[in-house]
Structure 1
Amino acid sequence: MAVSWWCSSSSRAWSWTPSPYIGAWVILVAVIATAVWWRARGRHQEREPDAREAAALERGSGPYPSGSTSRSVAFAFGVLGLWACLDWPLAALGAGYLATAQMARQILMVLVVAPLLLYACPPGLAVRLVGWGKRLTVLRLVARPFVAIAIAALSLVAVNAPAVVDPLVRTPYGAFVLDGIWIVAGFVLWMPVQCPHPGVRRLEGPVALGYLILQSIVPVLPGFWMTWADFPIYRVYELAPRVIEGFDAVSDQQAAAAVLQVGGMVVLWFQIAFRFLRWGYAQMEDGRGGRPRPGASSGGASDGDGAGAKPIRGAAAPAS
């Protein structure tokens, strides 16, 4: 079993012998360790916000409405998806053998793993990481819909351009930079609707649905030139040893475009349908005179450890 620091292209014939990547496991351990620390100690060290922080909180949407169980489930699936994206075999296939595998990695990370991990992040941990000062100002800027879409779209177009892909995937360091860009782009893309920091105003209801519909153009852009090219546009995948007999570079490229565009659309519209049904159910509950929705501005926000907490305390309250 070979061990490498990070995935990169290779001229060797593909082998199903496991080859884990140290860098991927360092990231996974860091994410899991942060979650364990927060649950064991970090959430018990929260303090009440001062006047400046309380004023900043009023400009946000408050803690994201979620329970501790749903956060734990989202975290488990998010970490599992993160491992699939960063480690062997998908990372090895995507870095040097199949464009289809690379696009599958991006769809999984950008449209599945990123929103799961953002949902799983407790508000208190987001406050601990970002604070209430200049970093929050930057986060609010990034969480603006058109800023987020512009950053994500430009990043994903850039990291899928042949002039960028071919030279960078030759070395583990270049491949790490390439992967880092589209991973960050995935988190940025979801900030307007899924930001865990209570001081950021998130899109809600029909506006959030409209943003997600607009977001669906993002996977289309990088795959545009792959769809219509009659020849391989990526030298690394054209010259790579064949993993599947008869699955040549052009077929691989066209399949990659389908994964990026059709697969991305399916995942996004699943999100849109889920959020629409959730919003519609909440509207019906409000219309019947039921209890206020979690996270509504006129009421308390549940952070998973208790119902009916006041919004300001919710920002600093322990969250699992």
Structure 2
Amino acid sequence: MNTDPMGQMGHGGHGATADFATLWSPGLLLILIVIGWLYGMAVNRWRHRFAESEPVSIKHQMYFYIGLLLYYIAEGSPLSYYGHHYSFSTHMFQQSLLYLVMPPVLLLSIPGWLLRPLFRGPKANRIMHALTSPLLSLFVFNMVFSFYHIPMIMDTLMANPLLHEVYNTVFLLAAFQMWFPVFCPLPEYSRMTELKKMAYIFVNGILLTPACALIIFAGEPMYANYESVSEQFLFMSLLNDQQLGGVIMKIVQEIVYGMTLAYVFFRWYRRERQEEEEEDLQNESFAHSSVHANRA
């Protein structure tokens, strides 16, 4: 049996050789390049066209391009093809990039003044307030994540490209919804203090754990999509590949959530220190004013 990892191994109805377009998605790459160009123009040359616009630092602009690169690696590179057809662990790494790493990077890069024109009007405001509710965001993302990894659902999606694309779109939107309350680019929709954000991230980690644990501690392969893959091709058993996928997702989640907790904590700490320093300066100024007044 030919076990070429780039699509020549006949399994699961995918025996045809994958061509360059399938492996590298040049159409998606072109779209992302155009999006990157439009973003660069919007935050630089066209910035004066937006109300209350402010300069966007080079660091935050780089976050946007890093986010686009992460999206392309996850969806446009051979990682996507290989994960879909051959390796569950690769598929879980792809999902980790798409839903845990890429959304916060992009949210950090987008200034509020660039998004605000999209949500003008009372109806848009009501919809945004409802969708960005922290409780709803927690529930939707973790429900979508858990449902996806139910074997019957995942096997059905993997066998139906259209359904899979629809579910992936919902999954991606749910990921942005989940991260939005933490890295909110629009202050008017920010409802949580830093301490509440830290609790929110902690609860997210708890809710994500059961699905990962079921995959890690399963006693047999769960997904029919990968059952015909040669274990020689994987360099491990199907069960070990499946368990590795759960471990990868959990490790990436721990790293990303840990970094987010640190980011939120230090923002909170700096803000508290700044407020204390401003209060000390006000007290000193008041004390000097009182001394001068007494001398007069």
Q: Counterparts of 1:12 and 1:284 in 2: how far apart (Å)?
A: 61
SS of the residue aligned with 1:169?
helix
The TM-score, its normalising length taken from structure 2, stands at: 0.80
Alignment counterpart, residue 14 of structure 2, candidates 11, 16, 36: 11
User: Which one is further off, 37-46 or 223-232?
Assistant: 37-46
Residue identity matched to 2:204: Q
Where do 5+ consecutive residues of structure 1 fail to align? 1-8, 49-62, 293-320
Alignment counterpart, residue 25 of structure 1, candidates 23, 29, 50: 29
* 1:254 and 2:257 correspond: no
Distance 1:145 1:174, change over 3 A: same
Which structure is higher in RCO with an 8 Å CA cutoff and minimum separation 6?
1
Quote how far apart the aligned CAs of 1:148 are.
0.4
* 1:205 and 2:194 correspond: yes
Q: Counterparts of 1:176 and 1:223 in 2: how far apart (Å)?
A: 22
Quote how far apart the aligned CAs of 1:132 are.
3.6
Quote how far apart the aligned CAs of 1:165 are.
1.5
Alignment counterpart, residue 126 of structure 1, candidates 76, 93, 115: 115
Residue identity matched to 1:135: A
Which residue of the partner structure matches residue 196 of structure 1? 185
On the 8 A contact 2:43/2:56 being kept in 1, the answer is no
Alignment counterpart, residue 86 of structure 1, candidates 72, 75, 95: 75
Alignment counterpart, residue 175 of structure 1, candidates 164, 189, 195: 164
Residue identity matched to 1:34: L
Which residue of the partner structure matches residue 47 of structure 2? 43
On the 8 A contact 1:158/1:164 being kept in 2, the answer is yes
The TM-score, its normalising length taken from structure 1, stands at: 0.74
* 1:274 and 2:263 correspond: yes
Which residue of the partner structure matches residue 4 of structure 1? none
Distance 1:37 1:164, change over 3 A: farther
SS of the residue aligned with 2:236?
coil
Residue identity matched to 1:36: G
Residue identity matched to 2:109: A
SS of the residue aligned with 1:263?
helix
Which residue of the partner structure matches residue 154 of structure 2? 165
When the two chains are superposed, the root-mean-square deviation of aligned CA atoms in Å is: 3.1
Residue identity matched to 1:273: A
On the 8 A contact 1:97/1:243 being kept in 2, the answer is no
Residue identity matched to 1:265: E
Q: Counterparts of 1:291 and 1:31 in 2: how far apart (Å)?
A: 47
Q: Counterparts of 1:287 and 1:206 in 2: how far apart (Å)?
A: 18
Deviation by residue 1:121-169 (Cα, 9 ceiling, x = unmatched): 1212211223243222112112111110001011111222211211222
Where do 5+ consecutive residues of structure 2 fail to align? 1-11, 282-296
Quote how far apart the aligned CAs of 1:17 are.
7.0
Q: Counterparts of 1:217 and 1:206 in 2: how far apart (Å)?
A: 17
Residue identity matched to 2:14: S
Which residue of the partner structure matches residue 125 of structure 2? 136
On the 8 A contact 2:51/2:113 being kept in 1, the answer is no
On the 8 A contact 1:220/1:260 being kept in 2, the answer is no
SS of the residue aligned with 1:192?
coil
Identity %: 22
Which residue of the partner structure matches residue 106 of structure 2? 117
Quote how far apart the aligned CAs of 1:181 are.
2.4
* 1:98 and 2:87 correspond: yes
Pair member with larger Rg? 2
How many residues align? The count is 271
Which residue of the partner structure matches residue 9 of structure 2? none
Distance 1:283 1:40, change over 3 A: closer
Distance 1:237 1:151, change over 3 A: same
Q: Counterparts of 2:93 and 2:68 in 1: how far apart (Å)?
A: 17
Which residue of the partner structure matches residue 229 of structure 2? 240
Q: Counterparts of 1:17 and 1:249 in 2: how far apart (Å)?
A: 27
Q: Counterparts of 2:198 and 2:262 in 1: how far apart (Å)?
A: 9
